Amino acid sequence: MIRRHQGMRPASWNQRNHTASPWLRPFVAIEWGLEWVAFVLGSWALLEVLEYLGTFSVLIAVIFYFTESGDRVKQRHYQAWQVINTAQGKGGSGGRIEALQELNADRVPLVGVDVSSAFLQGLNLKNANLLRSNFSSADLRNANLAAVDFTLADLRTANLRGAILDHSKCIQTDLENADLTNSSIVGADLLGASIDDADLRGANLKDVQWQHLKSIAGANIAGVKNAPAGFASWALAHGAISQPDAQE
Protein backbone atom coordinates (compact mmCIF):
# COMPACT_ATOMS: atom_id res chain seq x y z
CA MET A 1 0.00 0.00 0.00
CA ILE A 2 1.30 3.43 -0.95
CA ARG A 3 1.92 5.87 1.89
CA ARG A 4 1.89 9.57 1.13
CA HIS A 5 4.74 11.81 2.25
CA GLN A 6 4.46 15.56 1.83
CA GLY A 7 7.25 16.86 -0.40
CA MET A 8 9.42 19.93 0.07
CA ARG A 9 7.79 23.32 -0.20
CA PRO A 10 8.21 24.68 -3.75
CA ALA A 11 10.43 27.69 -4.32
CA SER A 12 8.82 31.11 -4.67
CA TRP A 13 7.88 32.42 -8.09
CA ASN A 14 10.58 35.07 -7.98
CA GLN A 15 13.21 32.38 -7.46
CA ARG A 16 11.88 30.16 -10.26
CA ASN A 17 11.22 33.03 -12.64
CA HIS A 18 14.70 34.45 -12.07
CA THR A 19 16.46 31.27 -13.17
CA ALA A 20 14.32 30.60 -16.26
CA SER A 21 14.97 31.79 -19.81
CA PRO A 22 12.32 34.15 -21.18
CA TRP A 23 11.03 31.63 -23.75
CA LEU A 24 10.76 28.89 -21.09
CA ARG A 25 8.82 30.98 -18.58
CA PRO A 26 5.31 29.79 -19.68
CA PHE A 27 6.34 26.19 -19.16
CA VAL A 28 8.08 27.00 -15.88
CA ALA A 29 4.93 28.73 -14.68
CA ILE A 30 2.83 25.64 -15.42
CA GLU A 31 5.34 23.37 -13.68
CA TRP A 32 5.55 25.72 -10.68
CA GLY A 33 1.75 25.78 -10.37
CA LEU A 34 1.52 22.00 -10.48
CA GLU A 35 4.22 21.70 -7.80
CA TRP A 36 2.13 23.86 -5.49
CA VAL A 37 -1.01 21.80 -6.21
CA ALA A 38 0.89 18.60 -5.40
CA PHE A 39 2.35 20.17 -2.25
CA VAL A 40 -1.06 21.25 -0.96
CA LEU A 41 -2.80 17.99 -1.78
CA GLY A 42 0.03 16.03 -0.18
CA SER A 43 -0.97 17.41 3.19
CA TRP A 44 -4.60 16.27 2.89
CA ALA A 45 -5.35 13.25 5.09
CA LEU A 46 -8.57 12.77 3.12
CA LEU A 47 -6.65 11.65 0.03
CA GLU A 48 -4.72 9.07 2.03
CA VAL A 49 -7.96 7.75 3.53
CA LEU A 50 -9.49 7.50 0.06
CA GLU A 51 -6.49 5.55 -1.15
CA TYR A 52 -6.80 3.11 1.76
CA LEU A 53 -10.50 2.69 0.98
CA GLY A 54 -9.71 2.03 -2.68
CA THR A 55 -7.26 -0.70 -1.77
CA PHE A 56 -9.73 -2.17 0.70
CA SER A 57 -12.47 -2.26 -1.95
CA VAL A 58 -10.18 -4.25 -4.25
CA LEU A 59 -9.62 -6.75 -1.45
CA ILE A 60 -13.38 -7.06 -0.89
CA ALA A 61 -13.94 -7.58 -4.62
CA VAL A 62 -11.37 -10.41 -4.68
CA ILE A 63 -13.00 -12.10 -1.68
CA PHE A 64 -16.45 -11.92 -3.28
CA TYR A 65 -15.05 -13.24 -6.57
CA PHE A 66 -13.82 -16.44 -4.94
CA THR A 67 -16.80 -16.91 -2.62
CA GLU A 68 -19.19 -16.67 -5.58
CA SER A 69 -17.19 -19.00 -7.85
CA GLY A 70 -19.53 -21.91 -7.05
CA ASP A 71 -22.55 -19.91 -8.17
CA ARG A 72 -20.82 -18.99 -11.43
CA VAL A 73 -20.08 -22.66 -12.13
CA LYS A 74 -23.72 -23.59 -11.47
CA GLN A 75 -24.87 -20.82 -13.80
CA ARG A 76 -22.50 -22.04 -16.51
CA HIS A 77 -23.82 -25.59 -16.15
CA TYR A 78 -27.41 -24.37 -16.26
CA GLN A 79 -26.74 -22.50 -19.50
CA ALA A 80 -25.05 -25.57 -21.04
CA TRP A 81 -28.03 -27.78 -20.20
CA GLN A 82 -30.35 -25.14 -21.60
CA VAL A 83 -28.48 -25.23 -24.91
CA ILE A 84 -28.73 -29.04 -25.04
CA ASN A 85 -32.38 -29.27 -24.06
CA THR A 86 -33.53 -26.42 -26.29
CA ALA A 87 -32.06 -28.12 -29.37
CA GLN A 88 -33.38 -31.57 -28.47
CA GLY A 89 -34.59 -33.53 -31.49
CA LYS A 90 -33.19 -31.00 -33.95
CA GLY A 91 -30.41 -31.43 -36.50
CA GLY A 92 -27.23 -29.40 -36.58
CA SER A 93 -24.99 -28.69 -33.64
CA GLY A 94 -26.70 -25.72 -32.03
CA GLY A 95 -23.79 -25.27 -29.63
CA ARG A 96 -24.24 -28.75 -28.20
CA ILE A 97 -20.67 -29.86 -28.86
CA GLU A 98 -19.26 -27.12 -26.66
CA ALA A 99 -22.00 -27.55 -24.05
CA LEU A 100 -21.48 -31.31 -23.75
CA GLN A 101 -17.71 -31.00 -23.58
CA GLU A 102 -17.90 -28.28 -20.95
CA LEU A 103 -20.18 -30.32 -18.72
CA ASN A 104 -18.03 -33.41 -19.11
CA ALA A 105 -14.86 -31.42 -18.37
CA ASP A 106 -16.49 -30.40 -15.07
CA ARG A 107 -17.33 -34.08 -14.45
CA VAL A 108 -21.07 -33.54 -14.66
CA PRO A 109 -22.89 -36.85 -15.38
CA LEU A 110 -24.64 -36.78 -18.75
CA VAL A 111 -27.09 -39.50 -17.79
CA GLY A 112 -30.13 -39.60 -20.05
CA VAL A 113 -28.96 -36.79 -22.33
CA ASP A 114 -30.89 -36.69 -25.63
CA VAL A 115 -28.90 -35.49 -28.65
CA SER A 116 -30.56 -37.66 -31.25
CA SER A 117 -30.04 -36.52 -34.87
CA ALA A 118 -27.48 -33.90 -33.76
CA PHE A 119 -24.38 -33.00 -35.77
CA LEU A 120 -21.57 -33.83 -33.34
CA GLN A 121 -18.54 -34.54 -35.51
CA GLY A 122 -15.27 -34.53 -33.55
CA LEU A 123 -17.06 -34.49 -30.19
CA ASN A 124 -14.73 -35.27 -27.27
CA LEU A 125 -16.52 -36.92 -24.36
CA LYS A 126 -13.77 -39.17 -23.08
CA ASN A 127 -14.69 -40.84 -19.75
CA ALA A 128 -18.23 -39.42 -19.87
CA ASN A 129 -21.16 -41.00 -18.02
CA LEU A 130 -23.73 -41.47 -20.81
CA LEU A 131 -25.96 -44.02 -19.12
CA ARG A 132 -29.36 -44.28 -20.86
CA SER A 133 -28.40 -41.51 -23.28
CA ASN A 134 -29.93 -41.11 -26.73
CA PHE A 135 -27.51 -40.62 -29.62
CA SER A 136 -29.71 -42.24 -32.24
CA SER A 137 -29.06 -40.97 -35.78
CA ALA A 138 -26.41 -38.57 -34.43
CA ASP A 139 -23.38 -37.73 -36.56
CA LEU A 140 -20.44 -38.76 -34.36
CA ARG A 141 -17.78 -39.17 -37.00
CA ASN A 142 -14.25 -39.01 -35.57
CA ALA A 143 -15.63 -38.49 -32.05
CA ASN A 144 -13.54 -39.42 -29.01
CA LEU A 145 -15.78 -41.60 -26.88
CA ALA A 146 -13.06 -43.60 -25.17
CA ALA A 147 -13.94 -45.11 -21.79
CA VAL A 148 -17.49 -43.72 -21.86
CA ASP A 149 -20.37 -45.49 -20.13
CA PHE A 150 -22.96 -46.22 -22.83
CA THR A 151 -24.92 -48.67 -20.66
CA LEU A 152 -28.52 -48.91 -21.94
CA ALA A 153 -27.83 -46.12 -24.43
CA ASP A 154 -29.55 -45.74 -27.81
CA LEU A 155 -27.08 -45.48 -30.69
CA ARG A 156 -29.29 -46.81 -33.46
CA THR A 157 -28.28 -45.58 -36.93
CA ALA A 158 -25.60 -43.34 -35.37
CA ASN A 159 -22.71 -42.43 -37.68
CA LEU A 160 -19.59 -43.48 -35.75
CA ARG A 161 -17.16 -43.65 -38.65
CA GLY A 162 -13.60 -43.23 -37.40
CA ALA A 163 -14.83 -42.76 -33.84
CA ILE A 164 -12.84 -43.94 -30.83
CA LEU A 165 -14.78 -46.15 -28.43
CA ASP A 166 -11.80 -47.84 -26.81
CA HIS A 167 -12.59 -49.41 -23.42
CA SER A 168 -16.13 -48.06 -23.56
CA LYS A 169 -18.88 -49.79 -21.59
CA CYS A 170 -21.58 -50.71 -24.10
CA ILE A 171 -23.64 -52.92 -21.82
CA GLN A 172 -27.08 -53.57 -23.33
CA THR A 173 -26.42 -50.74 -25.77
CA ASP A 174 -28.50 -50.60 -28.93
CA LEU A 175 -26.15 -50.17 -31.91
CA GLU A 176 -28.57 -51.45 -34.52
CA ASN A 177 -27.71 -50.17 -38.00
CA ALA A 178 -24.90 -48.00 -36.61
CA ASP A 179 -22.03 -47.11 -38.96
CA LEU A 180 -18.83 -48.17 -37.20
CA THR A 181 -16.65 -48.22 -40.31
CA ASN A 182 -12.95 -47.77 -39.44
CA SER A 183 -13.83 -47.08 -35.81
CA SER A 184 -11.76 -48.24 -32.85
CA ILE A 185 -13.54 -50.43 -30.32
CA VAL A 186 -10.45 -51.75 -28.55
CA GLY A 187 -11.27 -53.43 -25.25
CA ALA A 188 -14.93 -52.35 -25.32
CA ASP A 189 -17.46 -54.31 -23.24
CA LEU A 190 -20.37 -55.40 -25.47
CA LEU A 191 -22.26 -57.39 -22.85
CA GLY A 192 -25.87 -57.71 -24.00
CA ALA A 193 -25.34 -55.18 -26.81
CA SER A 194 -27.26 -55.39 -30.09
CA ILE A 195 -25.33 -54.61 -33.27
CA ASP A 196 -27.77 -55.94 -35.84
CA ASP A 197 -27.15 -54.54 -39.34
CA ALA A 198 -24.23 -52.44 -38.07
CA ASP A 199 -21.36 -51.69 -40.45
CA LEU A 200 -18.11 -52.87 -38.82
CA ARG A 201 -15.90 -52.83 -41.91
CA GLY A 202 -12.33 -51.95 -41.00
CA ALA A 203 -13.15 -51.55 -37.31
CA ASN A 204 -10.42 -52.34 -34.78
CA LEU A 205 -11.79 -55.02 -32.46
CA LYS A 206 -8.67 -55.79 -30.44
CA ASP A 207 -9.54 -57.30 -27.04
CA VAL A 208 -13.22 -56.47 -27.50
CA GLN A 209 -15.46 -58.37 -25.08
CA TRP A 210 -17.90 -59.89 -27.55
CA GLN A 211 -18.77 -63.25 -25.98
CA HIS A 212 -22.11 -62.09 -24.58
CA LEU A 213 -23.39 -60.00 -27.47
CA LYS A 214 -27.17 -60.05 -27.67
CA SER A 215 -27.39 -60.12 -31.47
CA ILE A 216 -25.28 -59.44 -34.55
CA ALA A 217 -27.61 -60.44 -37.41
CA GLY A 218 -26.89 -58.57 -40.63
CA ALA A 219 -23.79 -56.82 -39.30
CA ASN A 220 -21.04 -56.45 -41.90
CA ILE A 221 -17.71 -57.61 -40.44
CA ALA A 222 -15.66 -57.46 -43.64
CA GLY A 223 -12.07 -56.38 -43.03
CA VAL A 224 -12.34 -56.05 -39.25
CA LYS A 225 -8.92 -55.63 -37.62
CA ASN A 226 -7.45 -57.57 -34.70
CA ALA A 227 -10.65 -59.54 -34.16
CA PRO A 228 -10.43 -61.83 -31.12
CA ALA A 229 -10.10 -65.54 -31.75
CA GLY A 230 -13.41 -67.11 -32.65
CA PHE A 231 -15.27 -63.85 -33.20
CA ALA A 232 -15.57 -63.99 -36.99
CA SER A 233 -16.80 -67.58 -37.14
CA TRP A 234 -19.29 -66.99 -34.31
CA ALA A 235 -20.58 -63.79 -35.90
CA LEU A 236 -21.11 -65.41 -39.30
CA ALA A 237 -22.85 -68.33 -37.65
CA HIS A 238 -25.23 -65.88 -35.96
CA GLY A 239 -26.27 -63.99 -39.05
CA ALA A 240 -23.43 -61.53 -39.68
CA ILE A 241 -22.17 -60.98 -43.22
CA SER A 242 -18.80 -60.23 -44.78
CA GLN A 243 -19.24 -58.04 -47.85
CA PRO A 244 -16.29 -55.69 -48.50
CA ASP A 245 -18.07 -53.92 -51.36
CA ALA A 246 -21.47 -53.54 -49.73
CA GLN A 247 -23.41 -50.44 -50.75
CA GLU A 248 -22.69 -47.40 -48.56
The number of distinct structural domains making up the chain is 2
Phi, psi of 199 (to 5 degrees): -100, 110
Average pLDDT over residues 202-217: 97
Contacts with 175 (C-beta within 8 Å, 6 or more apart), sequence order: 155, 156, 158, 193, 194, 195, 198
Q: Are residues 193 and 90 in the same domain?
A: yes
Q: Are residues 95 and 28 in the same domain?
A: no
Q: Are residues 137 and 27 in the same domain?
A: no
Q: For residue range 136-188, what is the model confidence (pLDDT) as tens digits?
A: 999 999 999 999 999 999 999 999 999 999 999 999 999 999 999 999 999 99
The answer to the question of residue 1 being in a domain is no
SS3 41: helix
Q: For residue range 29-78, what is the model confidence (pLDDT) as tens digits?
A: 777 666 766 666 666 555 566 666 666 666 666 565 555 555 678 889 99
Judge contact between 140 and 122, C-beta under 8 A: no
pLDDT of residue 87: 87
Q: Are residues 238 and 150 in the same domain?
A: yes
Mean pLDDT for all residues in the chain: 86
Judge contact between 118 and 87, C-beta under 8 A: yes
Q: Are residues 137 and 230 in the same domain?
A: yes
Amino acid type, 21 = S
Share of residues in the chain with pLDDT > 90 (%): 64
Range of the domain at 206: 78-242
For residue 115, give the CATH number of its domain: 2.160.20.80
Q: Are residues 139 and 202 in the same domain?
A: yes
Q: Which of 188, 192, 201, 195 is nearest to 228 (CA)?
A: 188
Q: Are residues 162 and 143 in the same domain?
A: yes
The answer to the question of residue 7 being in a domain is no
pLDDT of residue 92: 83
Q: Are residues 35 and 85 in the same domain?
A: no
Phi, psi of 7 (to 5 degrees): -80, 180
